[in-house]
Chain A
Amino acid sequence: MAQAEVFETDFWKDANLRKVWDEIVPGEPRKTLPYVLTREAIQLYCRSVGENHPLYFDEAYAKASPYGGLIAPPSIHILLMFSCTPADDWMRTPGTVNAGQSWSYNIPARPGDTITLQARALDKFIKRERLFVVHDNVFFNQRGDVICSGRGQTIRPM
Chain B
Amino acid sequence: MPVSPPSPMRVAAPLPDRAGVGLKADHVEEILAGRPDLGFFEIHAENYMGDGGPAHRRLEAVRALYPLSLHGVGLSIGSPKPLDKEHLKRLVAVARRYEPGMFSEHLAWSSHNLGFLDDLLPLPYTAQTLATVCDHIDQTQEALGRRMLLENPSTYLLFAESTLSETDFIAEIGRRTGCGLLLDVNNVIVSATNHGFDPIAYLDAYPLRHVEEIHLAGYAEAQDDAGRPLLIDAHDSPVREGVWALYAETIRRIGPTPSLIEWDNDVPAWPVLFAEARRAEASMARVAVATQEKALSHAV
| Binding between chains A and B | no
Interface residues of B (CB under 8 A from A): none
